[in-house]
Structure 1
Amino acid sequence: MYKRLFDIDSWKVSTHTLDRENKRLMESLTSIGNGYMGMRGMFEETYSGDTHQGTYLAGVWFPDKTRVGWWKNGYPDYFGKVINATNFIGLKISVDGEEIDLAKLAVEDFYVELDMRNGLLSRSFTYQTATTKLKFSFERFVSIVQKEMAFLRLTIDVLKGAPSISVTSTIDGNVKNEDSNYEEMFWVEKERHISETIHALTVQTIENPFEVPKFTVTTAMKNRGTLGKGKEIQKPLFVGESYEWTADEARYSLEKMVSVVTSRDVDEPQQLKCAEKLLASAASKTFAEHLEEQTKAWEKRWERADVKIEGDPEAQQGIRFNLFQLFSTYYGEDERLNVGPKGFTGEKYGGATYWDTEAYIVPMYLSVADSSVTKRLLEYRYDQLPGAFINAKRQGLKGALYPMVTFTGVECHNEWEITFEEIHRNGSIAYAIYNYTNYTGDRSYLDSDGIKVLVAIARFWADRVHYSKRNQAYMIHGVTGPNEYENNVNNNWYTNYIASWVLRYTLENYDQALDTSKEELHVTTEEKEKWQEIVEQMYLPKEEDLGIFVQHDTFLDKELMSADELPNEVRPLNQNWSWDHILRSCFIKQADVLQGIYYFGNEFTREEKERNFDFYEPMTVHESSLSPCIHSILAAELGKEEKAVELYARTARLDLDNYNNDTDDGLHITSMSGSWLAIVQGFAGMRTFDGKLQFSPFCPNDWDGYSFPIGYQDRLIEVKVTKKELVITLLTGEPLELRIFDKPVLLENRIEQSL
């Protein structure tokens, strides 16, 4: 089941239909961002119907007053959340006294388009009365050339009549959040500034009782065009510039330049001056010139990352949409930032950082961007290690527990089952260090800051396990695995396995670490011996007769059935069943045992992989956006090509086709790498274990072929796959030994192999 609003196009998301019933979904799908700020695809002009107007600034957040520590010791002090920020795109328009409001007015030739080649969002429609006819065109983008800048252009073509037109360009700080604490204002005004050159508004987050520093944001605009001289407007949390004129049958335009400066980078006293300077510099170029620069900057990103699919335009649109939204959210420019689950597209989930980054984002960025981008994600976690120590201490445990949700490193999520049971995320933090080191061949991070993170996590696992005398094994009770449709289970196989692996990996690499790092850590011989004992005696539930790893101790006691037996009207389960019903069922939200098999594919036989896939996949309802890609990759490896392609389509078009009926809240940013993973690791069979790159590709039946570039250990490689041939080209760098279908091949310039 899916809901498709937009036409199929390899480079665009576009439609000629104004679907008022699905306006929020349209807004999510036309969101734009530049890693520093972004917004949903809301309209510039008034829209009085159902809409979610959201503008968000990276790293700007608020500690929610909902405090739950009084009823469970160890709870976070607050729930951290992204907050809706100043709306700077406003263009209030009236014609002959009639406000242009597409929730009320009938218009013709409506069209909206998001161009993924350069991040330009454009929209147009024709409005007419008995005496007038006008065409309105809107264009906007947030700059990846100058992160603090956004550019808008309004064009009005008067096609008939001589109407009286009013346009007001606004900066509006009267904004609220949609996700919780409805109607609560998170901003207070600090200053309004109006001069002949700019209009500016400075706001600050409200007081909080948790000693979290307040954020101050200055938003400034400069308007220019053919509308004449503007009239100043100001009121609390609002500044504007209004234009009124009687029009001829001609074209009129307004270019609106906006600069946004936050206290993350510039102290409040200097913000206005900084914003003015940015606008003055931008004013030397036209909207068209800024757009040309934007297009060239995006071209460089696409040259390094574009996946080209021949013969399936739906699949092509899906992968490009996901890459575009990921790069719009994060491109590694700021080591203080991470990849938020909704990016700049909504407020759901609250926090800025989940384990999704290490599990799903890191393996893609390693290939499609400079290795420094991924290294910044590792450094982000190292910098927040003090917060991870706090999280573990609050649970009475040693070592470091990385948070489920955070802005600072300290846990700020408010669901116990997720926050302090879903501790497997600690393993993914360590796995990202392994992944980076293995893929790049660069041990410098592992041997310095990385080993400090590994030891801290190892100490947590060593304290979190307990020894069962009855079973003569180490166990971990009271957890939630990746399958969040089961809470407070004992011996989740994946959690136990990755805990054991972290201890093993830390032991394998500790002695090679820099002496300065080891001196700081004080790991004793007794401590290492204890870790080794846990590795050797970790309990990993297994069913010998079925030949499977058991998801947790009591999973096989459930009534087991295939998800195919569920009637369509009860899916998604999380929108139709009670939580009690879900917890008692066998249905799996996302890869759990299979997540471990995916991570550690070189540690399991093909037979083990197949038996576990055949057992667990039929019970998986894929109601997590993170689910389809893992199953697609494993299906491809196991030769289940039809299933692999089916699940690729689901992950690639999860939001575009609203598979889970929840995209109106915002896009699933951190799962968008799944479509890339499904093609590159799934269809192309790319793996890198022990520093060796390998491919085992196939071409889906409905595709004519596909190609992609990857960066690997200071090389740039292009891979092309058709139904008949595999071609691998070394674009830059030294020759490299590969494995193709498990046979060694030396890549010097170009390899061609029949399929």
Structure 2
Amino acid sequence: MNQDYIQSNPWSIIEEGFDKERVKSSESLFSIGNGAMGQRANFEESYSGATFQGSYIAGVYYPDKTRVGWWKNGYPEYFAKVLNAPNWIGINVTINGELLDLATCTNIKDFKRELNMKEGWYRRNFVATTPNNIEIEVIATRFLSLAHDEVGAIRFEVTPLNSDAEISFNPYIDAGITNEDSNWDDKFWNTTKITSNNNRAFIESHTMKTNFNVCTFMQAQLEHGNKVTTSPSSEIKKELSIGFEFSQSAKKGEKVSLVKYGGYTVDRNHDADQLVKAANSVLDQASLLGFDGLLDEQKKAWDQVWEMSDITIEGDVKAQQGIRFNIFQLNQTYTGTDSRLNIGPKGFTGEKYGGSTYWDTEAYCLPFYMATKNQEVARKLLKYRYNHLEKAIENAEKLGFKNGAALYPMVTMNGEECHNEWEITFEEIHRNGAIAYAIYNYTRYTQDYSYVPEMGLEVLIGIARFWQQRINWSTHQNKYVMLGVTGPNEYENNVHNNWYTNYIAKWCLEYALEQLEQVQQNFPADYKRIIEKTKLTNEETGLWKKVAAHMYFPYSKEHGVYLQQDGFLDKDLVPVAELDKQERPINQHWSWDRILRSPYIKQADTLQGFYFFEDHFTEEELEKHFDFYEPFTVHESSLSPCVHSVQAAKLNRMEQAYTFYLRTSRLDLDDYNKEVEEGLHITSMAGTWMSIIEGFGGMRIKDGKLCFSPKIPEQWDMYSFKINFRNRIIKVTVTQNGTTFNIDEGDSLEVLVNDTPISISH
């Protein structure tokens, strides 16, 4: 049974009614961010119930020493993880001396949370009775500014309802925080200085080992009637925190509000000794605009985001809410303004996966940012990998590879591998292919070839060298084979000849050879520079050709399909439909040994190859492979339903495509995998976007041309989306009666619609 407490609404995520059992889940679902920082939807006031405190700063991490029972040569020494940052949202509230705490309050009613995605703010309101029998109404509104990304704002309003009351606010900042996922309970932060100035407070601290310097800051003021109080009655300073006290007598029915600004200045953007000065400058700006002024700017900034990235759906509110939630969280996580940053699978919503970068960025996120931003944003994601090429070469060297072979990390913050499960660290090497595919995908979509001679060719050479060294010649098969790998399906480890890995390796070698030829012909100076730098020889490239031409692919003549890997048919091939529903998800009910011996597929594996390289195969081949593999797929990876939705739509199986779409778009809202309290699945949200644009919209690039084959689920009356394609903003509107195309910005363009050329213009 999936959770179903989120109200259906096209523009907001709404929870009604207070339930202690779902506090942690809601903390994830109502998370907010602005690309530079983010936070879970923790209560501002004290809460003694179960909670998962989390505030995070983009690019600030700690190398937590690896903890494994048995060390293996080649293991990374640490797992880099995004840190739970000092908390700036805290506001202790007392009513006639009694601490406000929803865990101890009685008669909690009218409890409501709303995450307004259209305008970019989060609000919580409730009526509750404190243990000393004062009934109060609370309205707390919070947002992280897109326009001023170092600051967030809170307005916390309290109204006594059944009697007069003395209301005290204690706004504070606190550096005494920990990570829930710490390996050794290390001290991650060292607090060096705590200072205050009137109604402002500052905590200066730095991370241990990585030495990121951060100033956590706040400013607070009390509002009552037309009166604003900026001078607190007292200061409360402790070893790791600092706060103020504001008190106000309120008559029954009178509202008292605390407005608080807070955030972080970081030495990634300022001189380390100027962080307090920078914080003061941020607070000066916030004070000048005021809460309402900042909120107006927030609404305008989000309006601009939605103008380009919105997908509208008519006739299906749950589907509409799902896609907007995905688009909203993607834009909260990564704005594309900083090429030093990337996209973590949990974004700013939790600590799982360490907030690090995976292959998800290249395989799933790049198309979203490429089509909804300008191409510079996507180029920055590619530049991020080029900047880490030397580290990728070091990662390969640690595993015994030579001569500039590059193995990009499965998990990283700074380019170094920091994942320490052997079956993933050493064997899930298909991630290298996703990096190369992203270069191909970017140049195909944008026609900006400049990335390849400037940066990309060096990346492709390093990747090709890795594949050439990773294969073995099999005299038995008379082919090159790939032993001991883990494909995208992590429910089978240490297999031989995973078809997807072998196929993408062959493609990478061929693509690298093609790009060498292109750069030699068209960019001779860059070619000369790159050959001299990499010391690439004709003997080497000749070997690449040989390996690509003689790669082994497991195949079943009986079934007429490529096999996911050697031995797949030796498994007990019982379809997922015949599993006991009480044992799902299997990753929470079965032993790992049982899972590894089963035929069950966590996410698209062979079908991932058919998704990437669709034009290499006929539709009949796709159908045959889809019909063979999907019945064994448990979709227990967040990255699974979107690929299957795209392929089901391609095969005109619209009911199945719609079911997969709904699952991917509402994965977190409905908590399909029963783990949302750990954080949201940010990178798979880009896959949700793909399931509409590439699935239902049928968007492809073929022979350099933009193509569509639009379809519409019967549950929808209409859907529309925009894409930025080579500096043209194209709007596509699909109804049950047909499709219209318009260019909102840029020159006219010829596109193919169901293989028929049409010209579109303003």
What band does the TM-score fall into relative to the shorter chain? over 0.9
CA contact (8 A) 2:142 2:155 kept: yes
Q: CA deviation at 1:746?
A: 2.4
Distance in 2, Cα, partners of 1:512 & 1:678: 33
CA contact (8 A) 1:91 1:168 kept: yes
Alignment of structure 1 residues 353-368 onto 2, 5 Å: 353-368=357-372
DSSP-derived class of the 2:242 partner: strand
Q: Are 2:420 and 1:407 aligned?
A: no
Distance in 2, Cα, partners of 1:132 & 1:330: 43
Equivalent residue for 1:283? 287
Distance in 2, Cα, partners of 1:140 & 1:306: 23
Alignment of structure 1 residues 406-445 onto 2, 5 Å: 406-445=412-451
Distance in 1, Cα, partners of 2:245 & 2:461: 60
Equivalent residue for 2:219? 222
From 491, 498, 505, the equivalent of 1:492 is 498
Per-residue CA deviations over 1:625-648 (Å, capped at 9, x if unaligned) read 000000010010011111100000
Distance in 2, Cα, partners of 1:663 & 1:196: 41
DSSP-derived class of the 1:41 partner: coil
Q: Which amino acid aligns with 1:348?
A: K
Equivalent residue for 1:15? 15
CA contact (8 A) 2:366 2:438 kept: yes
Distance in 2, Cα, partners of 1:748 & 1:116: 31
Distance in 1, Cα, partners of 2:342 & 2:113: 30
DSSP-derived class of the 1:499 partner: helix
Q: CA deviation at 1:265?
A: 2.0
Q: CA deviation at 1:446?
A: 1.5
From 591, 594, 601, the equivalent of 1:588 is 601
DSSP-derived class of the 1:244 partner: strand
Per-residue CA deviations over 1:442-473 (Å, capped at 9, x if unaligned) read 10002220111111101111111111122111
TM value normalised by structure 2: 0.96
Q: Which amino acid aligns with 1:339?
A: I
Distance in 2, Cα, partners of 1:38 & 1:565: 42
Equivalent residue for 2:702? 689
Distance in 2, Cα, partners of 1:131 & 1:548: 70
DSSP-derived class of the 1:219 partner: strand
Q: CA deviation at 1:519?
A: 3.7
Distance in 2, Cα, partners of 1:464 & 1:216: 41
Distance in 2, Cα, partners of 1:730 & 1:268: 47
Equivalent residue for 1:463? 469
Q: CA deviation at 1:199?
A: 0.7
Distance in 2, Cα, partners of 1:66 & 1:559: 36
Distance in 2, Cα, partners of 1:536 & 1:744: 36
- Cα 1:319–1:660 shift into 2, 3 Å: same
CA contact (8 A) 1:131 1:161 kept: no
Q: CA deviation at 1:62?
A: 0.8
Equivalent residue for 1:115? 116
Per-residue CA deviations over 1:4-43 (Å, capped at 9, x if unaligned) read 2210100000122112111110110000001110000110
CA contact (8 A) 1:309 1:706 kept: yes
Distance in 1, Cα, partners of 2:535 & 2:706: 36
TM value normalised by structure 1: 0.97
From 193, 196, 200, the equivalent of 2:195 is 193
Q: CA deviation at 1:197?
A: 4.5
Q: Which moved more, 1:407-416 or 1:590-599?
A: 407-416
Equivalent residue for 1:639? 652
Q: Are 2:658 and 1:657 aligned?
A: no
Equivalent residue for 1:148? 150
Per-residue CA deviations over 1:692-739 (Å, capped at 9, x if unaligned) read 111111110111010000111111100000111110111222222211
From 252, 256, 259, the equivalent of 2:260 is 256
Distance in 1, Cα, partners of 2:546 & 2:189: 54
CA contact (8 A) 1:259 1:278 kept: no
Structure 1 gaps of 5+ residues are: 750-755
DSSP-derived class of the 2:289 partner: coil
Per-residue CA deviations over 1:534-590 (Å, capped at 9, x if unaligned) read 111111111122111100011111111210111111111110000000000000000
Q: CA deviation at 1:70?
A: 7.0
Q: Which amino acid aligns with 1:527?
A: E
DSSP-derived class of the 2:353 partner: coil
Distance in 1, Cα, partners of 2:399 & 2:532: 27
Q: Are 2:620 and 1:629 aligned?
A: no
Equivalent residue for 1:752? none
Alignment of structure 1 residues 679-718 onto 2, 5 Å: 679-718=692-731
Q: Which amino acid aligns with 1:442?
A: D
Equivalent residue for 1:237? 240
Equivalent residue for 2:352? 348
Q: Which amino acid aligns with 1:224?
A: Q
Q: CA deviation at 1:248?
A: 2.1
Q: CA deviation at 1:518?
A: 3.8
Equivalent residue for 1:547? 560
Q: CA deviation at 1:183?
A: 5.2
Q: Which amino acid aligns with 1:390?
A: E
Q: Which moved more, 1:156-165 or 1:315-324?
A: 156-165
Distance in 2, Cα, partners of 1:69 & 1:105: 45
From 731, 749, 752, the equivalent of 1:739 is 752
Per-residue CA deviations over 1:297-331 (Å, capped at 9, x if unaligned) read 11111000100000000000000000000100001
Equivalent residue for 1:74? 74
Distance in 1, Cα, partners of 2:97 & 2:279: 34
DSSP-derived class of the 1:285 partner: helix
- Cα 1:197–1:98 shift into 2, 3 Å: closer
Structure 2 gaps of 5+ residues are: none
Q: CA deviation at 1:524?
A: 1.6
Distance in 2, Cα, partners of 1:335 & 1:461: 27
Q: Which amino acid aligns with 1:353?
A: T
CA contact (8 A) 1:68 1:77 kept: no
Per-residue CA deviations over 1:460-515 (Å, capped at 9, x if unaligned) read 11111111122111111100000000000000000000000001111111122233
Equivalent residue for 1:84? 84
Q: Which moved more, 1:557-566 or 1:244-253?
A: 244-253
CA contact (8 A) 2:18 2:109 kept: no
% of aligned pairs identical?
49
Q: Which moved more, 1:425-434 or 1:246-255?
A: 246-255
Q: CA deviation at 1:414?
A: 1.2
Distance in 2, Cα, partners of 1:746 & 1:492: 43
Distance in 2, Cα, partners of 1:537 & 1:558: 27
Equivalent pairs counted in the alignment come to: 744
Q: CA deviation at 1:132?
A: 4.1
Equivalent residue for 2:401? 397
Distance in 1, Cα, partners of 2:159 & 2:185: 38
Distance in 2, Cα, partners of 1:273 & 1:176: 27
Distance in 1, Cα, partners of 2:376 & 2:266: 25
Q: Are 2:597 and 1:566 aligned?
A: no
Distance in 1, Cα, partners of 2:102 & 2:702: 55
Equivalent residue for 1:172? 174
Q: Which amino acid aligns with 2:732?
A: V
CA contact (8 A) 2:705 2:751 kept: yes
Q: Which amino acid aligns with 1:113?
A: E
DSSP-derived class of the 2:288 partner: coil
CA contact (8 A) 2:65 2:184 kept: no
Equivalent residue for 1:753? none
Distance in 1, Cα, partners of 2:14 & 2:735: 29
Distance in 1, Cα, partners of 2:88 & 2:276: 16
CA contact (8 A) 1:188 1:237 kept: no
DSSP-derived class of the 2:354 partner: coil
Q: CA deviation at 1:198?
A: 1.4
Q: Which amino acid aligns with 2:122?
A: L
DSSP-derived class of the 1:18 partner: coil
From 532, 537, 558, the equivalent of 2:545 is 532
Q: Are 2:297 and 1:293 aligned?
A: yes
Q: CA deviation at 1:396?
A: 0.7
DSSP-derived class of the 1:284 partner: helix
Equivalent residue for 1:126? 127
CA contact (8 A) 2:265 2:279 kept: yes
Q: Which amino acid aligns with 1:416?
A: W
CA contact (8 A) 1:205 1:214 kept: yes
- Aligned residues: CA RMSD: 1.4
Distance in 2, Cα, partners of 1:69 & 1:431: 36
Q: CA deviation at 1:160?
A: 3.6
